[in-house]
């Protein structure tokens, strides 16, 4: 692929010009949230200036326009991830809500003692905590597919755990801590061979690689707008239509019903059945604009750019000699992020030194506490990349290590 024109991409992000103490920000915290390009901000601003109204097909012109845009955004998302129409696209608040929606609407009703929920040791708390708590309420057991020494899933262990007792397999597509790209089609096939469902957490996948939910064949697939150049406050839950049709709603209220009497209620069509109350309308407009913007660049090219940056960061950090890196080496098995520790320096101290250099990275357990326990460290520092990042920015990150060594090691 032809490389990205990073300079003109950066011109659409005024925030990247911000300076602190005379130094321009180096934003390497994209796994937490990505920055928002002008066309997305403009689309949302235009919506509020010219089209704002509540949806659900009000009779007046503005409500009709808002409804068309909100509904149309579902179509655009469906096309983007190759779902079979808007019925399979539920707008949520974020990935976390997608996990909870399925855990409550399906898990709480369907799981029972003797059922197994199969997760991976690299699950984000969004899925790990949710299924753990639903399992407690239903008597189901949770088992975790082991992560091996290279930061990849032990697929022999996966084959052991995904047997006829397995009811659902929930796996992260790209780990937000290890960077590992998991074989989600294989996991889904295993689940289906044993009549189990599959839920894929795509929070770190959809922003930076082409994702085709039909090809993966996952039953459910979730992601967040704010990690893909879109706004906060909106996420997507994809679900296979027949499953969503069978499921009871998770939240109740206006906009999701067909008929209500004092005694009982019936539910509206998909996807509205799962979207009660006033939804994130401007955010849906922003998400659609983000998808247009990403596709304007090309998801294959974005993936290539991120793989290149991750491999470069991995190699540069590895060459330092006193940096421990978690997860697979750079290549097709790693998404655009690198978590690491500098010998003798706590991740929070290192990250604070990085901030003195206006390099924005994240310290902590990245919502994967059990995985950090397994790695034997309380925390790590994570650098995560997006379309606007450059090798020079990674050089700045590596240069800041020296200060940390002098101060702390």
Taking CB under 6 A as the criterion, which residues in 17-36 touch ligand PMP?
31
Pick the closer one to ligand PMP by CB: 235 or 280. Answer: 235
- The CA-based angle 52-57-58, given to 5 degrees, is 70
d(CA 9, CA 301): 13
User: 169 is written with which tokens?
Assistant: 């397999």
**Per annotation, catalytic residue among 142, 299, 367, 398:** 367
74 binds ligand PMP (CB under 6 A): no
200 binds ligand PMP (CB under 6 A): no
Residues 352 and 407: beta-carbon distance below 8 Å: no
For ligand PMP, the binding residue among 30, 36, 204, 208 (CB under 6 A) is 204
Provide the strand spans (E) within 181-224: 197-201, 220-224
User: Minimal distance in Å, beta carbon 126 to ligand PMP?
Assistant: 4
Taking CB under 6 A as the criterion, which residues in 321-380 touch ligand PMP?
367
124 binds ligand PMP (CB under 6 A): yes
CA-based nearest residue to 95, from 197, 2, 230: 230
Pick the closer one to ligand PMP by CB: 243 or 367. Answer: 367
Pick the closer one to ligand PMP by CB: 115 or 121. Answer: 121
d(CA 367, CA 173): 15
6 binds ligand PMP (CB under 6 A): no
Helix axes 299-319, 281-297, angle to 10 degrees: 80
For ligand PMP, the binding residue among 35, 36, 96, 380 (CB under 6 A) is 96
User: 310 is written with which tokens?
Assistant: 């991750």
Query: Mind giving me the DSSP string for 386-406?
Result: -TT--HHHHHHHHHHHHHHHH
* Piece of the chain touching ligand PMP by CB under 6 A; list 40-48, 88-96, 139-147, 298-306: 88-96
CA-based nearest residue to 43, from 283, 211, 330, 271: 283
Pick the closer one to ligand PMP by CB: 11 or 32. Answer: 32
Taking CB under 6 A as the criterion, which residues in 253-312 touch ligand PMP?
none
Taking CB under 6 A as the criterion, which residues in 207-226 touch ligand PMP?
224
Residues 186 and 165: beta-carbon distance below 8 Å: no
Pick the closer one to ligand PMP by CB: 176 or 303. Answer: 176
Pick the closer one to ligand PMP by CB: 208 or 224. Answer: 224
User: Minimal distance in Å, beta carbon 172 to ligand PMP?
Assistant: 5
Establish whether 367 is a catalytic residue: yes
Provide the strand spans (E) within 6-124: 19-20, 23-24, 26-27, 89-92, 116-120
Q: Are strands 116-120 and 166-172 parallel, antiparallel or unpaired?
A: parallel
For ligand PMP, the binding residue among 35, 36, 95, 182 (CB under 6 A) is 95
Q: State the binding string over 154-173 for ligand PMP (x if CB under 6 A, else -).
A: ------------------x-
For ligand PMP, the binding residue among 30, 35, 94, 339 (CB under 6 A) is 94
126 binds ligand PMP (CB under 6 A): yes
d(CA 54, CA 285): 13
- H/E run at residue 307: helix 299-319
203 binds ligand PMP (CB under 6 A): yes
User: 268 is written with which tokens?
Assistant: 């509206």
Residues 201 and 123: beta-carbon distance below 8 Å: yes
92 binds ligand PMP (CB under 6 A): no
Instruction: For tokens 């990245």, name the residue.
Output: 366
User: Minimal distance in Å, beta carbon 395 to ligand PMP?
Assistant: 26
Three-class SS state of 204: coil
Q: Please report, as ranges, the residues that interact with ligand PMP according to CB under 6 A.
A: 31, 94-96, 124, 126, 172, 176, 201, 203-204, 224, 235, 367
Catalytic residue list: 367
């Amino acid at each position: 692929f032809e490389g990205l024109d990073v300079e003109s991409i950066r011109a659409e992000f005024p925030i990247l010009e911000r300076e602190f103490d005379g130094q321009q920000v180096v934003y390497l915290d994209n796994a937490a949230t990505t920055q928002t390009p002008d066309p997305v901000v403009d689309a949302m601003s235009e919506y509020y200036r010219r089209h704002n109204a509540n949806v659900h097909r009000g009779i007046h012109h503005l409500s009709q326009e808002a409804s068309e845009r909100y509904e149309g955004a579902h179509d655009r998302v469906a096309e983007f991830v190759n779902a079979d129409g808007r019925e399979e696209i539920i707008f949520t608040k974020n990935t976390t809500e997608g996990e909870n929606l399925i855990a409550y609407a399906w898990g709480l009703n369907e799981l029972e003692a003797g059922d197994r929920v199969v997760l991976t040791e690299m699950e984000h708390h969004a899925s790990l905590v949710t299924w753990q708590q639903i399992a407690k309420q239903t008597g189901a057991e949770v088992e975790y597919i082991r992560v091996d020494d290279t930061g990849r899933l032990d697929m022999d262990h996966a084959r052991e755990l995904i047997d006829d007792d397995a009811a659902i397999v929930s796996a992260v597509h790209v780990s937000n801590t290890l960077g590992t790209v998991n074989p989600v089609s294989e996991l889904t096939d295993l689940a289906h061979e044993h009549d189990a469902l599959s839920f894929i957490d795509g929070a770190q996948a959809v922003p930076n690689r082409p994702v085709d939910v039909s090809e993966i064949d996952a039953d459910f697939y979730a992601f967040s707008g704010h990690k893909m150049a879109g706004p906060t406050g909106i996420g997507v839950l994809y679900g296979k239509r027949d499953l969503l049709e069978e499921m009871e709603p998770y939240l109740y209220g206006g906009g999701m019903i067909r008929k209500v009497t004092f005694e009982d209620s019936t539910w509206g069509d998909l996807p509205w059945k799962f979207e009660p109350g006033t939804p994130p309308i401007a955010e849906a407009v922003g998400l659609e604009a983000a998808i247009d913007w990403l596709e304007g660049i090309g998801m294959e090219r974005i993936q290539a750019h991120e793989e290149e940056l991750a491999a470069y960061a991995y190699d540069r950090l590895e060459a330092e000699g006193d940096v421990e890196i978690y997860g697979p080496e750079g290549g097709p098995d790693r998404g655009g992020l690198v978590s690491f520790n500098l010998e003798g320096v706590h991740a929070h101290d290192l990250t604070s030194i990085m901030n003195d250099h206006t390099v924005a990275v994240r310290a902590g357990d990245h919502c994967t506490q059990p995985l950090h326990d397994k790695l034997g460290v309380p925390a790590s520092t994570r650098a995560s990349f997006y379309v606007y990042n450059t090798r020079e920015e990674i050089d700045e990150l590596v240069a800041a290590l020296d200060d940390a060594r002098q101060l702390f090691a």
